[in-house]
Structures are given as C-alpha cells and as structure tokens.
Structure 1
Amino acid sequence: MNKQQQPAMGVPMGEPAVGEFSSGLCDCFSDVSLCCLTCWCPCITFGRIAEIVDKGSSSCGVSGALYSLLMVFTGCQFIYSCTYRSKMKAQYGIPENSCGDCCTHFWCETCALCQEYRELQYRGYDVALGWHGNMEKANQGMTMPPSMPGGMTR
C-alpha cells in the first residue's frame, strides 16, 4: 500500500489473504520507532492495542498498568496479551488458534505486539490516539452545511 493511500476508518484498502495478518510476525523493523517502543515499554504498546480492540471500554492506561504488574510480579503477561490477539482475530475474521497464539506471545511477545499494532494501523486506526480519539477524527469529516439567509432581502 502506498504511503499516500490511507484506508478509511476500519476499512482496509486491500484485504490480506484470508486467515492472515496484513504483515508478518517478523516485520518488526518495518516501523523502527514502534519496534523500539515495544522493546522498551511493551506496556504502552499493549495498552494502546487493548483500548482499540475493546472499542474504548478499557483505557490504555489501565490495560498497560495491568500488563506491567503481571510482567513484574508473575512474568506471565503473555497470557493476558494473547487474549487480546484472540479478540482481534475474532473481530477481523482471522481464524483463531488459541494454542498457537499463546505460543506466539510466549516466544515472540515483542513481535506479536508489533504485528497487532501494525494490523490496527492497516485497518485505519491511529492507535496512538486511542478509541475515542479515532472516533472524533472519524466524525470530523461530517460537518454541517453552511447556513443560508432566509427570504429575500434588499
């Protein structure tokens, strides 16, 4: 997809193959800044993903904080993040593989989070804005027509 072509909110320009993400698991370096953010602060990347996948019912901050607590105290944050991969796959009609998704997050957590973030971008979201920011951005295109003066005047 050309950089000038941006998909409409939630509607991709070209569909990926059935049952696949729009980018590969190991395409992390296609967006170096995202890769660095996810390596050093995966809680931020995860929180942003969770807010979009949950359609605003959970906040980036709360999801990211819970992810951080799980990471620090149990080391099992991958279980939490793989549930969001499953939710996202269900939303976009990508066949789910619970065991495979869990293994992907266990062995390649950073790559999996980057792939999910890129997928949301591909689907038309500015993930950094969050759910409500994306909804406001989508609604800005709908403006009121200019008002016309009523009746004839001299």
Structure 2
Amino acid sequence: MADWSTGLFDCFSDCSLSCGGNCLLYLLVHHVSGCLITILFGYFHRRTLRRDFGLKSSPCPDFCVHCFCHYCALCQEYRELQNHGFDMKIGYDANVQKQQNRGVTMAPMNEEGMKR
C-alpha cells in the first residue's frame, strides 16, 4: 500500500486553486440535503480512490475521515487525482481517454457510466 501524495491537513498547499464557487455550491448541497448523504457519498468515493491507486487507509478508516474531516478529505482526494494527472475540468470520459493515451490502466467504468 502506498502513502497519499499529500497529507489530510495539507489544505493550504494548493491555495492557488480557484474553487470558491464550487465550494459554496457544495456547502449548500451538503447542508440542505443533509450532511449524512454527502458524507456517505464521499466515503464511497474515497474507498474507490484508495482501491484504484493502492493507497493506505490513513490516518483512520475512510468513513471516519469523511465523518470528522469531510472538507479536508475532499481537498486531499482532489489533490491526489491532480497528482495522478487528472484534470477535473475535462470530465471523467476525457480523463479516461487521456490516461489510456499515456498507457495508464484505469478502473473500468460501471455499466451505467460515471455521471458528472
């Protein structure tokens, strides 16, 4: 198992990230829909990300990370994807194509495909 490329609390390492609008939208969805829904979604996403990249479950189990450090976990996962060459602006399908062109094997999509 590999370590994450950045720490859970390295949120200020990417301050140049201009995601203010996305953060506000996420905060609205997070608090209107009920925190548990977004925490569960985050937990399943983190678990999949760890499996796909062979990452350690640290500093604690995925559900606990999203329960107690939800926003830090989202930032860490975003940085991890960036450090693996993903560009969130182009979407999932374009990233799959980009990785395949580089010769990187990605986890297969489910039958319905991943929604943006």
**What is the TM-score of this pair, normalised by structure 1?**
0.52
Once superposed, which parts of structure 1, at least 4 consecutive aligned residues long, lie more than 6 Å away? none
1:15-72 deviations in Å (ceiling 9; x for gaps): xxx43110011111111244753643337xxxxxxxxxxxxxxxxxxxxxxx93x641
The percent of aligned pairs where both chains have the same amino acid is 36
In the comparison of the two structures, how many residue pairs are matched?
99
CA RMSD of aligned residues (A): 3.0
Unpaired segments ≥5 residues, structure 1: 1-17, 44-66, 142-154
Deviations 1:98-152 (A, max 9, x none): x7211111121111001001000111111221122324556788xxxxxxxxxxx
- Cα distance between partner residues in 2 of 1:35 and 1:42: 14
1:93 Cα offset (Å) = 1.0
Q: Contact conserved, 1:125 with 1:134, CA < 8 A, in 2?
A: yes
Secondary structure of the residue aligned to 1:128 is: coil
Q: How does 1:72-111 map to 2 (within 5 A)?
A: 72-76=32-36, 77-96=38-57, 100-111=61-72
Aligned equivalents of 2:42, 2:18: Cα separation in 1 = 17
Structure 2 distance, partners of 1:35, 1:25, is 19
Structure 2: give runs of 5+ residues left out of the alignment. 103-116
TM-score calculated relative to the size of structure 2: 0.67
